[in-house]
Amino acid sequence: MSILNGLSIDVEDYFQVEAFSAVIEPTSWSKYPFRAEENTKKILDILDKSSIKATFFCLGWIAEKSPSLIKEISKRGHEVASHGYMHQPIYKQDPTTFANDIERSKKLLEDILGKRILGYRAPTYSITEKTLWAIDILIQQGFLYDSSIFPIRHDLYGIVDAPRFPFWIDKKRLKEIKNNKWPEPFKDFSIISKYFSKGDGLIEFPITTFKLFNMNFPIAGGGYFRLLPIKLSLWALSKINDKETMPFVFYIHPWEFDPEQPKIRGCSLKSKIRHYLNLKKTQKRFEILLERFNFVPISKVLGID
């Protein structure tokens, strides 16, 4: 049987990304044309054609602006998870602010859908070595899984020593992790659900990387998917399934399907490259990806749906 991989959509708008945070304050978000709804529906239509279900990490700000979009995502059979409320990196928040942000988002999504929200992804993958305290808060808030840790070196995120595949975190293991003692990832996903009977904890599904020359390389979504040749991306992801016999998690954003989005002025050249590179190629590459691999929501990969 082919390996089931996690497909995830981070539902945020073009003016909310961290690359533009130096020139766009959250207080001005409402001044920009709202395009997330149209672009998310574009992804929903693409997934319908392929009969594929995904996890949509939805921003609370967007859910409040368009609760009908959240209902539409769920109605079409996809998993709705939390992306926080205000899309602020955790390292820009204190524990109280963070707890309030995710509680507000989780309650809002649960009230809209009338069902429990199981998963969370931090804005800008901002669970880093300095913000591991956020895991404890996620456990307290009742999340069953997180997909925020990126096992690479990067100027905005990353924990290079973290495992590359899903692993269990509880309070005991969190203390060990803070001392750089990381747990072994799961080899048998069928036993994951049993861990929740042992006490409070959650599953971490790290953002997928490809290991080469003992280094981790990002290949499973976003700007990396737009930057790298599609054949290289498909080859690396295939190796993870076929050689390592492990699932990967792929991520993409609705604004990446929108080459006609308004251009943001005043940002750095690096931010422009990260955000606008190859937007016209996203949809075609995404459709090729869907044809090549088996995808399901993250909760189904982990067996906790």
Task: Taking residues 21-29, report their average pLDDT.
Answer: 95
Mean pLDDT value across residues 125-141: 96
Give mean pLDDT, residues 186-194.
Answer: 88
Give the pLDDT confidence score for residue 177 in this predicted structure.
93
Distance separating alpha carbons of residues 297 and 201, to the nearest angstrom = 20
pLDDT of 1 strictly over 70: no
What average pLDDT does the segment 31-49 reach? 98
Tokens for 43, please give them: 């992804």
The CATH number of domain 5-301 is 3.30.9.10: no
Task: Look at residue 105 in the predicted model and tell me its pLDDT.
Answer: 98
Number of C-beta neighbours around residue 214 at 10 A: 5
User: Rg of the chain over CA atoms, in angstroms?
Assistant: 18
User: At 104, is the pLDDT very low, low, confident or very high (cuts 50, 70, 90)?
Assistant: very high
pLDDT of residue 81: 98
**Per-residue pLDDT tens for 199-253?**
789 999 999 999 998 899 999 999 999 999 999 999 999 999 999 999 999 999 9
Domain ranges of the chain: 5-301
pLDDT of residue 231: 96
Q: Which amino acid is at 281?
A: K
Tell me what the mean pLDDT of segment 120-134 comes to.
Answer: 96
For the chain, give the mean pLDDT.
Answer: 95
- As a whole number, mean pLDDT of residues 64-73 equals 98
Q: Per-residue pLDDT tens for 169-186?
A: 998 999 999 888 999 999
pLDDT at 305: 81
- Rounded distance, CA 305 to CA 299, Å? 5
Give the Cα separation of 131 and 208 in Å (integer).
20
